């Protein structure tokens, strides 16, 4: 009996040891499970915080990038406006220069037309004078031919009459020229 009792006691002790081992193991497993869950929650919270931080950083970077793009766009726009204004000024200067050249050319054309008309008028006057002088030469020839047939007194009277006629004619011509010049 004593051995049975010792075996029984050993078996009971073994059962209690096993039960106690089981409960200790269960408790350790629960503790580990709790610690793993706690660690998991901590990791999840850390991951969330890190994701939030990364999200905020990405948002800040995006805002900064948008701001930089806006600044670059405004600078480029300002530069293009400046270039456009310079181009417009150059274009206006060229237009003004062309207008001046056009006015100058028109003025030259008018002056050339006026000179051409003056030359035509002068040629007409010269032609009139040539015709007049040809006529006078023909008259003088006739007069000389008549004078050759006249006496000295008749020739003198004829000469005086001719000089007087020419003087009147020249005076009338001069008067007419002066009147035309005063009209201009």
Q: What is the pLDDT of residues 103-137, one digit of tens each?
A: 899 998 998 898 888 888 888 888 888 888 888 87
Portion of the chain with pLDDT greater than 90, in percent: 27
Mean pLDDT of the chain: 86
Range of the domain at 24: 2-149
| 12 assigned to some structural domain | yes
| 6 assigned to some structural domain | yes
Portion of the chain with pLDDT greater than 70, in percent: 97
What per-residue confidence (pLDDT) applies to 184? 67
| 182 assigned to some structural domain | no
| 39 assigned to some structural domain | yes
| 160 assigned to some structural domain | no
What per-residue confidence (pLDDT) applies to 139? 81
Q: d(Cα 62, Cα 74) in Å, to the nearest integer?
A: 18
pLDDT tier for residue 5 given thresholds of 50, 70 and 90:
confident
Whether the per-residue pLDDT at 31 is higher than 90: the answer is no
Please tell me which residue, 148 or 129, carries the higher pLDDT value: 129
Whether the per-residue pLDDT at 147 is higher than 70: the answer is no
Is 119 in contact with 131 (CB distance < 8 Å)? no
Which residue reads 């006026």 in tokens? 114
- Measured CA angle at 140 (ends 135, 145), to 5 deg: 130
| 173 assigned to some structural domain | no
| 170 assigned to some structural domain | no
What per-residue confidence (pLDDT) applies to 83? 93
| 158 assigned to some structural domain | no
- CA–chain centroid gap for 113, Å, is 38
Count of structural domains, the chain: 1
Average pLDDT over residues 3-29: 84
Please tell me which residue, 80 or 163, carries the higher pLDDT value: 80
């Amino acid at each position: 009996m004593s051995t049975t009792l010792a075996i029984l006691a050993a078996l009971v002790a073994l059962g209690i040891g096993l039960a106690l081992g089981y409960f200790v193991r269960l408790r350790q497993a629960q503790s580990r499970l709790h610690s793993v869950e706690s660690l998991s929650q901590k990791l999840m919270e850390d991951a969330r915080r890190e994701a939030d931080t990364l999200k905020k950083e990405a948002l800040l970077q995006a805002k900064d990038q948008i701001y930089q793009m806006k600044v670059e766009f405004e600078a480029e726009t300002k530069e293009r406006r400046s270039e456009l204004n310079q181009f417009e000024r150059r274009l206006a200067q060229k237009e003004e220069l062309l207008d001046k050249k056009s006015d100058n050319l028109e003025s030259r054309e008018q002056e050339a037309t006026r000179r051409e008309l003056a030359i035509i008028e002068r040629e007409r006057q010269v032609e009139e004078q040539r015709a007049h002088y040809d006529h006078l030469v023909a008259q003088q020839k006739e007069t000389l031919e008549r004078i050759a047939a006249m006496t000295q007194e008749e020739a003198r009277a004829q000469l005086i009459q001719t000089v007087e006629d020419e003087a009147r004619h020249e005076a009338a011509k001069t008067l007419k020229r002066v009147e035309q010049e005063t009209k201009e």
